[in-house]
Structure 1
Amino acid sequence: MQIAPRKVINSWCMYDWANSAYNLVITSTIFPAYFEAITRGQTPDNEVEFLGRKFVNTALYNYALGAAFIVVAFISPILTSIADYRGNKRNFMRFFCTMGAIFCSLLYFFAPQQLADGRIALSNTSLNIGIFCMVLSCIGFWASLVFYNSFLPDLVPHRLRDRISARGYTWGYIGSVILQILCFIVVFLPGAFGFDTPYERDYMPARVSFVLVALWWIGFAQIPFRNLPISTVKERHERKNVFSNGFLELKKVWMQLKHMRVLKLFLVSFFWYSAGIQTVFLAATQFGAKELHLPTAKLIITIMIIQLVAIPGAIFISRASERFGNIKTLMVVVLVWIAACVGAYFTYTDIQFYILGGIVGLVMGGLQSLSRSTYSNLMPETKDTASFFSFYDVTEKIALVIGMFTFAYIEEQTIHFGGMRNSVLALIVFFMLGFVWLGMTMRALNKANRQ
Structure 2
Amino acid sequence: MEKGNKKIIRGWVFYDWANSVYNLVISSAIFPIFFESMTRKAYIVRRAEELGISEDKVVARTEDITSFFFGFEMSSAVLYSYVLSASFLVVSILSPILSGIADYSGMKKFFMQLFCYIGAASCVGLAFFDPGNMELSMTPFFLASIGFWGSLVFYNSFLPEIAERKDHDRISARGFSMGYIGSMVLLIICLVWIQVFHGDPRYAFALVGIWWVGFSQITYRVLPKNVYNKKVDKGIIKKGLLELKMVFKEFKKIKELKRYIASFFFFNTGVQTVMLMATLYASREIFQIPPALKVTMTQAEIDAHDAEAGTGLIVAILLIQILGAIGAFLISRLSEKIGNLKALTIVVFFWIPLCIFAYFIPVGGHLQFYFLASGVGVVMGGVQSLSRSTYAKLLPDTQDHASYFSFYDVTEK
TM class by shorter-chain length? Answer: 0.7 to 0.9
Moved more, 313-322 or 49-58: 313-322
Letter in 1 for 2:352: I
Out of 372, 388, 407, which is 1:356 matched to? Answer: 372
Structure 1's 245 and 226: CA in aligned 2 closer, same or farther, altered over 3 A? same
Letter in 1 for 2:14: M
8 Å CA contact 1:12, 1:228 repeated in 2: yes
SS of equivalent residue, structure 1 residue 48: strand
Instruction: Deviation per CA, 1:44-70: give whole Å up to 9, x if none.
Output: 521212122222111111111111111
Report what 1:23 is aligned to. Answer: 23
SS of equivalent residue, structure 2 residue 2: coil
What is the CA–CA distance in structure 1 between the aligned matches of 2:151 and 2:18, rounded to whole Å? 12
Structure 1's 29 and 386: CA in aligned 2 closer, same or farther, altered over 3 A? same
Report what 1:296 is aligned to. Answer: 310
What is the CA–CA distance in structure 1 between the aligned matches of 2:107 and 2:171, rounded to whole Å? 22
Report what 1:182 is aligned to. Answer: 189
Report what 2:278 is aligned to. Answer: 284
What is the CA–CA distance in structure 1 between the aligned matches of 2:258 and 2:381, rounded to whole Å? 23
SS of equivalent residue, structure 1 residue 85: helix
8 Å CA contact 1:107, 1:129 repeated in 2: no
| Residue 59, structure 1, aligned to residue 54, structure 2 | no
Q: CA deviation at 1:149?
A: 3.7
Report what 2:54 is aligned to. Answer: none
Structure 1's 64 and 325: CA in aligned 2 closer, same or farther, altered over 3 A? same
Q: CA deviation at 1:392?
A: 1.9
| Residue 345, structure 1, aligned to residue 359, structure 2 | yes
Where do 1:121-200 residues align within 5 Å?
A: 122-123=131-132, 125=133, 127-152=134-159, 164-191=171-198
Aligned-residue Cα RMSD (Å) equals 3.3
Moved more, 62-71 or 371-380: 371-380
Report what 1:221 is aligned to. Answer: 216
Letter in 1 for 2:366: D
Q: CA deviation at 1:326?
A: 4.9
What is the CA–CA distance in structure 1 between the aligned matches of 2:382 and 2:395, rounded to whole Å? 20
Letter in 2 for 1:212: L
What is the CA–CA distance in structure 1 between the aligned matches of 2:249 and 2:327, rounded to whole Å? 36
Out of 265, 268, 274, which is 2:268 matched to? Answer: 274
What is the CA–CA distance in structure 2 between the aligned matches of 1:326 and 1:14, rounded to whole Å? 24
What is the CA–CA distance in structure 2 between the aligned matches of 1:316 and 1:5, rounded to whole Å? 24
Letter in 1 for 2:272: Q
8 Å CA contact 1:78, 1:242 repeated in 2: no
8 Å CA contact 1:88, 1:236 repeated in 2: no
Q: CA deviation at 1:103?
A: 1.4
What is the CA–CA distance in structure 2 between the aligned matches of 1:3 and 1:370, rounded to whole Å? 20
8 Å CA contact 1:33, 1:286 repeated in 2: yes
What is the CA–CA distance in structure 1 between the aligned matches of 2:213 and 2:337, rounded to whole Å? 43
Moved more, 278-287 or 52-61: 52-61
Unaligned runs of 5+ in 2: 48-60, 289-305
Report what 1:199 is aligned to. Answer: none
What is the CA–CA distance in structure 2 between the aligned matches of 1:350 and 1:390, rounded to whole Å? 39
Report what 1:422 is aligned to. Answer: none
Structure 1's 50 and 11: CA in aligned 2 closer, same or farther, altered over 3 A? same
Q: CA deviation at 1:180?
A: 1.1
What is the CA–CA distance in structure 1 between the aligned matches of 2:144 and 2:80, rounded to whole Å? 14
Instruction: Deviation per CA, 1:162-219: give whole Å up to 9, x if none.
Output: 555554444333322221110110122134xxx5xxxxxxxx1x21211111121222
Report what 1:441 is aligned to. Answer: none
8 Å CA contact 2:320, 2:374 repeated in 1: yes
Structure 1's 213 and 33: CA in aligned 2 closer, same or farther, altered over 3 A? same
The number of residue pairs the alignment matches comes to 372
| Residue 71, structure 1, aligned to residue 90, structure 2 | yes
Report what 1:209 is aligned to. Answer: 204
Structure 1's 171 and 367: CA in aligned 2 closer, same or farther, altered over 3 A? closer
Q: CA deviation at 1:30?
A: 0.5
Where do 1:358-373 residues align within 5 Å?
A: 358-373=374-389
What is the CA–CA distance in structure 2 between the aligned matches of 1:259 and 1:40, rounded to whole Å? 52
Structure 1's 71 and 306: CA in aligned 2 closer, same or farther, altered over 3 A? same
Report what 1:264 is aligned to. Answer: 258
Moved more, 50-59 or 169-178: 169-178
Letter in 2 for 1:190: F
Report what 1:309 is aligned to. Answer: 323
Moved more, 5-14 or 347-356: 5-14
SS of equivalent residue, structure 2 residue 67: strand
What is the CA–CA distance in structure 2 between the aligned matches of 1:390 and 1:360, rounded to whole Å? 27
| Residue 94, structure 1, aligned to residue 116, structure 2 | no
Structure 1's 383 and 284: CA in aligned 2 closer, same or farther, altered over 3 A? same
| Identical residues among aligned pairs (%) | 47
Letter in 1 for 2:2: Q
Moved more, 69-78 or 342-351: 342-351
8 Å CA contact 1:306, 1:360 repeated in 2: yes
Q: Structure 1-normalised TM-score?
A: 0.71
Unaligned runs of 5+ in 1: 112-121, 196-203, 398-451
Letter in 2 for 1:222: Q
Where do 1:384-395 residues align within 5 Å?
A: 384-395=400-411
SS of equivalent residue, structure 2 residue 87: helix
| Residue 83, structure 1, aligned to residue 77, structure 2 | no
SS of equivalent residue, structure 1 residue 2: coil
Report what 1:109 is aligned to. Answer: 128
Q: CA deviation at 1:98?
A: 2.3
Moved more, 219-228 or 175-184: 219-228
Structure 1's 96 and 318: CA in aligned 2 closer, same or farther, altered over 3 A? closer
Structure 1's 67 and 240: CA in aligned 2 closer, same or farther, altered over 3 A? same
Letter in 1 for 2:280: Q
8 Å CA contact 2:108, 2:154 repeated in 1: yes
Q: CA deviation at 1:35?
A: 0.9
What is the CA–CA distance in structure 1 between the aligned matches of 2:373 and 2:88, rounded to whole Å? 24
8 Å CA contact 1:84, 1:150 repeated in 2: no
Instruction: Deviation per CA, 1:53-106: give whole Å up to 9, x if none.
Output: 222111111111111111111111233234323444444433332222221111
